[in-house]
């Protein structure tokens, strides 16, 4: 994936649920602009995206291609062990409006001078990955309290699938259903029995030796909605394993989910 050159990142002086034990402070610059010798920058840097996280204001501000500015509340949802030695933590963040959202997953240590951040934006239906440089500190709380958010996106808003053919349980490129979600809550496995309608968003090719595994894999990212329309989920499935991640966009929770099988992706067609 091509790094995004238009992202400026500032996460400043955050305090979380556990007072005195939580510190999330970033001062990171985006990837450097590549210069052609004797010429102007290969890519100009538009305002793009600005992130700010502190005790008073937590926001993501996006300037789209038409230069319209939209501001979202930014929330840190969860933190999980990262793929050592690449990072100590895998931190999940989300920015939501009623009809749009961003999912961010960042690979960060307790302290460092650079980190990788991946992010999916629904309005653009695109995943980006960027390496940022700058001193930072990241000490998340042991628990997260995430307020529910009124988000309402119909699956008819999902663009036509442009990825590879695949099959995962009872759905494929045209969509389908999940019978239920089996997820881990602490040390306990729980189930949500409500049936989910699901449509795929994007697929990603992940190279081997990535910190998690030596072999490459494919990911299929999807949007799922409960039949009664009360819940909306961002779903990440893998060809390498039968489990994955589900972000509850209404409640602001990241669910480690057991799907029961890995997604099956057809080989690429020869050029």
Q: Do 129 and 166 fall within a single domain?
A: no
Phi-psi region of 6 (alpha: psi -120 to 50; beta: other; left: phi over 0): alpha
**How far apart are alpha carbons 217 and 121 in whole angstroms?**
22
- Single out the residue in 114, 139, 164 at which a domain terminates: 139
Same domain, 31 and 85: yes
Closest by CA position to 94, among listed 86, 84, 85, 104: 104
| pLDDT, position 154 | 93
In a domain, residue 62? The reply is: yes
**Has residue 146 been placed in a domain?**
no
Q: Are residues 18 and 129 in the same domain?
A: yes
Tell me if 145 is assigned to some domain: no
Domain housing 174: 155-265
Say which residues have a Cβ less than 8 Å from residue 40's Cβ, sequence separation at least 6.
none
- Asked if residue 131 and residue 13 are part of one domain, the reply reads yes
Both 160 and 116 in one domain: the answer is no
Helices H / strands E in the chain, number of each: 0, 20
pLDDT given at position 86: 82
135 with 13, same domain: the answer is yes
Q: Would you state the pLDDT for residue 41?
A: 45
pLDDT in tens, 103-141: 999 888 888 887 787 889 999 999 887 776 667 777 777
Q: Residues of the chain whose pLDDT is less than 50?
A: 1-21, 31-36, 39-47
């Amino acid at each position: 994936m091509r790094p995004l050159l238009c992202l400026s990142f500032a996460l400043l002086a955050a305090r979380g649920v556990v007072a005195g034990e939580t510190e999330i402070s970033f001062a990171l610059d985006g990837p450097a602009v590549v210069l052609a010798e004797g010429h102007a920058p290969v890519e100009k840097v538009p305002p793009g995206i600005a992130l700010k996280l502190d005790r008073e204001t937590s926001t993501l501000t996006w300037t789209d291609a038409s230069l319209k500015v939209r501001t979202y509340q930014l929330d840190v949802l969860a933190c999980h062990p990262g793929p050592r030695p690449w990072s100590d933590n895998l931190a999940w963040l989300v920015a939501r409006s009623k009809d749009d959202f961003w999912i961010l997953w960042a690979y960060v240590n307790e302290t460092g001078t650079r980190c990788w951040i991946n992010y999916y934006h629904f309005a653009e239906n695109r995943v980006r990955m960027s390496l940022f440089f700058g001193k930072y500190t990241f000490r998340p709380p042991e628990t997260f309290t995430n307020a529910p958010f009124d988000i309402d996106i119909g699956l008819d808003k999902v663009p036509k699938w442009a990825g590879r053919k695949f099959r995962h349980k009872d759905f494929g490129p045209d969509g389908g259903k999940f019978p239920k979600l089996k997820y881990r809550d602490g040390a306990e496995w729980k189930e949500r029995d409500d049936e989910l309608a699901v449509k795929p968003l994007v697929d990603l090719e992940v190279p081997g030796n990535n910190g998690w595994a030596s072999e490459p894999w494919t990911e299929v990212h999807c949007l799922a909605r409960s039949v009664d329309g009360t819940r909306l989920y961002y779903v990440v499935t893998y060809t390498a394993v039968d489990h994955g991640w589900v972000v509850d966009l209404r409640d602001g929770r990241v669910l480690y989910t057991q799907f029961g099988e890995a997604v099956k992706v057809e080989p690429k067609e020869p050029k």
